[in-house]
Structure 1
Amino acid sequence: MAQTPKFSDRPRILVVGGGYVGLYVAHKLQKKVKAHGGIVTLVDPLPYMTYQPFLPEVAGGNIEARHAVVSHRMHLTDTELITGKVTRVNHGSRTAVVEPSDGSEPFELTYRDVVISAGAITRTFPIEGLADEGIGLKTIEEAVALRNQLLERIETGSLMEPGPERDRALTFVVVGGGFAGIEALAEMEDLARAAVKKNHRLGRSDIRFVLVEALDRIMPEVTEDQAKWVVEHLRSRGVQVKLNTSLASAKDGKLKLINMPDKTPADEFETDTLVWTAGVQANPFVRNTDFPIDERGRVRANPELRITGDDGPLDGAWTAGDVSAVPDLSGGGVGGFCVPNAQHAVRQAKLLADNIYAERYGVGRVREYKHKNLGAVAGFGQYKGVANIMGFGLRGLPAWLAHRGYHGMAMPMFERKFRVVTNWILGFVFGRDTTQLMDLQTPRRAFHEAATPPPKKQETPSLDKDRTEDTEKAKPKAKAKA
């Protein structure tokens, strides 16, 4: 273990993960804890928090990528920030091992209180070829890459002759019929529709979109009637919706689909774009801690958001968000626990900050988390959406407005809200941005080509030179004849 870099020796509240929960907890506590002589330390591999409900709109070109993230440095000015990841926690000794993102040696940090808010990662299955061919939609980088992939494939496909190669380039597949998958597919379809309008070599009928869902319905967060309407809506836009269907193989981009539950062959085709949105799982890092976890790999918690074992809550240990199993006292949660969504995360984060402050400094009282799910909203591209708000169903434009209104308010920090709303206004005036950014994976290509000397030309005799040489050779002979 390397020597610990010079960090504050004040009593520390260590926040593991800078997502929704970590950002809000640090933001609410940083000044208060500082006033009491302590410090809040946040550790995350990224220097920003990603507002994940906006990832489909980033992929669809409605929101600038940087505006869907919140900078830690900009807003956590009184927080000790470490860009890296916590790889182990030993709460018995109140220590955590931090691995810096720059590749330097890991080091130990001591703490007085810890907040486990490491969130969730994409859940995958051992499907042949999936790791090589698929892309998720859990990070801002994935959303940007997906947007550019779609635009590049459309542009490239427009230059191809009709046939299997062009069909593969212009086929886009989304696996997973939850909110993330449906919103991603709908935004991609809207973007593709806008892109082909500007390309006279293609029409919308040349583009193929396929949704693959293993269950017999999509979007369990809305009513069954609304879910059926969404399927009909997508099909009216030319999307092939395959329910009771699962992905069996994706090797080399050749997809093999099977019917569920009998697993008989369903369909085979090729694609260059496979988007995987079939669920999430708690960050597996928690298995490297001495905290109690449940059968789904989540940190066990009580309604006060304290990490809790068989013998009761652990002193100085807290958790919230997607990585935690928080009881849903409203009675509406799946399996009795709060579902992993932004609605719960933001409310839990605010209560968690208050509870830590009350417990540690005696200001206020520790309270239980209880929030009845207000419903769900989803956007399907410009002016289209579905919503279920407190049992009241909305479709089309009203649902789209509810979607933008809710997420516009839920986006952390006023300056980020302002940037996002500005994006929406610009999109309303000028339309969806279909500009493809090139060479994001190889940004040095242009410089490398400019800095590389051109190959030396090989001297090849010209026709005129050959004729001259022949003439010169003939002159002596002519003189001799004379």
Structure 2
Amino acid sequence: MAVKSEPTRILILGGGYVGLYTALGLQKKLRANEASVTIVDPQPHMTYQPFLPEAAAGSIEPRHVVVPLRRVLRRCHVLTARVNKIEHERKTVTVEAADGHIEQLGYDVLVVALGSVPRLLPIPGLAEQGIGIKTVGEAIYLRNHVLTKLDEASSTLDPDLRKRLLTFTVVGGGFAGIEALAELEDMTRDASTYYENIEPDDIRWVLVEAAGRILPEVRDTLGVWTVEQLEKRGIEVYLSTAAKSFENGHVVLSDGTEFDSDTIIWTAGVKANPVVAESDLPTDKRGRLEATAALNVVGHSDVWTAGDVSAVPDLSRTEEDPTATCPPNAQHAVRQARHLAKNIIASLRGGKPTDYYHKNLGAVAGLGLHKGVADAMKMKIKGFPAWLFHRAYHVHAMPTFNRKVRIMLDWALGGLFKRETISLGQINNPKEEFNRASKS
């Protein structure tokens, strides 16, 4: 009697776009006992990051922008843990589990989808004062933080403190920064109508961008138009200007501008998860895994990668630039993941993986309620139509029917009853009242 071989062990590192969509594709196509799939991520959910600005601004319930991994990956093993080390020569990955213990995981096929982390610069005060917006926790914190500053400003008798509390600074003019800025500015202007002593003009929003333009993913004219729209709303835009210091909330810019701000939102770029640069897998000068067009790690047929952590050749642009790689955005990550799942299946069954090819469809950005900008399908779209296009595209890309419906219901309820502009600041220090009671 022939001995039945063990199922191939597929280990997926990262539960973001690439990890989730790859796992979904595998669990749909794998035959019984053909392979086991384990997905490892520090969080038990995937976060749809393009919706984080709307979650921070109260247009979407934060729970609806995350997809619970265990709920949707019924045929996969989900391990809540942080990846510390990859040793491909030994075919092991060292992880730190949720309870703090360290363990090593073996594999036959590895998928590295660890994504990116914020790229921080050595700016004094940034680590202490900065707030990111890459996770749902940061989005919730930002919402409560910003609205709490309005509460504090409405009650203070110190004019200088009031000015500092009502000054909000965003560093980074890419999509993440512009959408966070626009949505939160829209929210604060709406929230100010509920304060007797705060007018919209009292609130100061500042955008700082080191490059000479914003939204590099769209054509120059749309970037210029977006700056004009932001400035019409009273937002101060500093282009070709670098941040020099944030110490104690005192902002110093490279052009000599100085002001105090209690809120520093940092969205100035990302970098590949540093775990890959410390592994024994090949990386490029930017710390990304070197990948083939078929989404294998160069020189390793049993290691696959995609998304922000990888340098995947962009075959739609290699004729004009042989070194071109796919930009780190959700559009490529989702499509690469679906292609990756098909290639892994083909490889398991003795087939040949195919190259990933996708021509960029364009880019869309929300600029607050009923406002947007889009450069898609060779069309320039502005204002309300772009806002509708932005919402339609992202709800289509949002994983699972469950989450699509919940988000559309959030939008419908927001249209009927306006967005919720309530600070739940106690979430940031939930034991404060309990500790106060224990001392009384």
- Give the 3-state SS of the residue equivalent to 1:221 in structure 2: coil
* 1:89-238 mapped onto 2 (5 Å cutoff): 89-104=86-101, 106-161=102-157, 163-238=159-234
Query: Which consecutive residues of structure 2, in runs of 5 or more, have no partner in the other structure?
Result: 1-5
How far residue 10 of structure 1 moved from its aligned partner, in angstroms, is: 4.4
Conserved? CA contact 1:56–1:187, under 8 Å = yes
- Give the 3-state SS of the residue equivalent to 2:254 in structure 1: strand
Pairing 1:51–2:48 present: yes
Conserved? CA contact 1:87–1:288, under 8 Å = no
How far residue 216 of structure 1 moved from its aligned partner, in angstroms, is: 1.3
CA distance in structure 1 between the aligned counterparts of 2:91 and 2:128, rounded to whole angstroms: 39
CA distance in structure 2 between the aligned counterparts of 1:162 and 1:426, rounded to whole angstroms: 38
How far residue 37 of structure 1 moved from its aligned partner, in angstroms, is: 3.7
Equivalent in 266, 271, 280 of residue 281 of structure 1: 271
Pairing 1:447–2:431 present: no
Q: Percent identity?
A: 49
CA distance in structure 1 between the aligned counterparts of 2:352 and 2:303, rounded to whole angstroms: 17
CA distance in structure 2 between the aligned counterparts of 1:31 and 1:350, rounded to whole angstroms: 11
CA deviation map 1:235-284 (0-9, x unaligned): 1001001111111000000111113xxxxxx2111111000010110000
How far residue 352 of structure 1 moved from its aligned partner, in angstroms, is: 0.1
* 1:26-425 mapped onto 2 (5 Å cutoff): 26-33=23-30, 35-104=32-101, 106-161=102-157, 163-259=159-255, 266-308=256-298, 313-331=299-317, 336-362=324-350, 365-425=352-412
How far residue 370 of structure 1 moved from its aligned partner, in angstroms, is: 0.4
CA deviation map 1:344-372 (0-9, x unaligned): 0000000000000000124x652110000
Conserved? CA contact 1:189–1:209, under 8 Å = yes
CA distance in structure 1 between the aligned counterparts of 2:263 and 2:346, rounded to whole angstroms: 50
CA distance in structure 1 between the aligned counterparts of 2:202 and 2:380, rounded to whole angstroms: 34
* TM-score normalised to structure 2 length: 0.96
Question: Which residue of 2 is the match for residue 458 of structure 1?
Answer: none
CA deviation map 1:280-322 (0-9, x unaligned): 10000102321100000000001000000xxxx3121100000
How far residue 124 of structure 1 moved from its aligned partner, in angstroms, is: 1.0
Conserved? CA contact 2:141–2:428, under 8 Å = no
Please identify the structure whose Cα radius of gyration is greater: 1
Question: Which residue of 1 is the match for residue 3 of structure 2?
Answer: none
Conserved? CA contact 1:34–1:78, under 8 Å = no
- Pairwise CA RMSD of aligned residues? 1.5
- Give the 3-state SS of the residue equivalent to 1:35 in structure 2: coil
- Over 3 Å counting, the alpha-carbon distance change for 1:86 and 1:162 in structure 2 is closer
CA deviation map 1:11-53 (0-9, x unaligned): 3100000000000111111254461342100011110001011
How far residue 101 of structure 1 moved from its aligned partner, in angstroms, is: 2.3
Query: Which consecutive residues of structure 1, in runs of 5 or more, have no partner in the other structure?
Result: 1-8, 260-265, 455-482
Question: Which residue of 2 is the match for residue 468 of structure 1?
Answer: none
CA distance in structure 2 between the aligned counterparts of 1:330 and 1:247, rounded to whole angstroms: 35
Conserved? CA contact 2:44–2:68, under 8 Å = yes
CA distance in structure 1 between the aligned counterparts of 2:157 and 2:379, rounded to whole angstroms: 49
CA distance in structure 1 between the aligned counterparts of 2:347 and 2:34, rounded to whole angstroms: 16
CA deviation map 1:143-172 (0-9, x unaligned): 111111110001110112362111000000
- Over 3 Å counting, the alpha-carbon distance change for 1:302 and 1:206 in structure 2 is same
CA distance in structure 1 between the aligned counterparts of 2:13 and 2:439, rounded to whole angstroms: 49
Conserved? CA contact 2:7–2:33, under 8 Å = no
Name the stretch that deviates more: 413-422 or 31-40: 31-40
CA distance in structure 1 between the aligned counterparts of 2:240 and 2:249, rounded to whole angstroms: 21
CA distance in structure 2 between the aligned counterparts of 1:438 and 1:257, rounded to whole angstroms: 30
CA distance in structure 1 between the aligned counterparts of 2:354 and 2:407, rounded to whole angstroms: 33
Question: Which residue of 2 is the match for residue 480 of structure 1?
Answer: none
How far residue 437 of structure 1 moved from its aligned partner, in angstroms, is: 0.7
Question: Which residue of 2 is the match for residue 22 of structure 1?
Answer: 19
Conserved? CA contact 1:95–1:108, under 8 Å = yes
Amino acid at match of 1:248: K
Amino acid at match of 1:215: A
Question: Which residue of 2 is the match for residue 471 of structure 1?
Answer: none
- Give the 3-state SS of the residue equivalent to 2:297 in structure 1: strand
Question: Which residue of 2 is the match for residue 460 of structure 1?
Answer: none
How far residue 429 of structure 1 moved from its aligned partner, in angstroms, is: 0.9
How far residue 86 of structure 1 moved from its aligned partner, in angstroms, is: 1.8
Amino acid at match of 2:401: F
CA deviation map 1:420-465 (0-9, x unaligned): 1111111111111101113112212233334x263xxxxxxxxxxx
Amino acid at match of 1:422: L
CA distance in structure 1 between the aligned counterparts of 2:138 and 2:427, rounded to whole angstroms: 12
Conserved? CA contact 1:293–1:299, under 8 Å = yes
CA distance in structure 1 between the aligned counterparts of 2:209 and 2:433, rounded to whole angstroms: 42
How far residue 97 of structure 1 moved from its aligned partner, in angstroms, is: 1.1
- Give the 3-state SS of the residue equivalent to 1:281 in structure 2: strand
CA distance in structure 2 between the aligned counterparts of 1:289 and 1:211, rounded to whole angstroms: 37
Give the number of aligned pairs.
Answer: 433
Amino acid at match of 1:61: G
- Give the 3-state SS of the residue equivalent to 2:155 in structure 1: coil
CA distance in structure 1 between the aligned counterparts of 2:435 and 2:252, rounded to whole angstroms: 40
Amino acid at match of 2:197: R
CA distance in structure 1 between the aligned counterparts of 2:200 and 2:107, rounded to whole angstroms: 57
- Give the 3-state SS of the residue equivalent to 1:141 in structure 2: helix
Conserved? CA contact 2:86–2:275, under 8 Å = no
CA deviation map 1:177-236 (0-9, x unaligned): 111111100001100011001111110011000000111111111111111111110010
Conserved? CA contact 2:12–2:38, under 8 Å = yes
Conserved? CA contact 1:94–1:110, under 8 Å = yes
* TM-score normalised to structure 1 length: 0.87
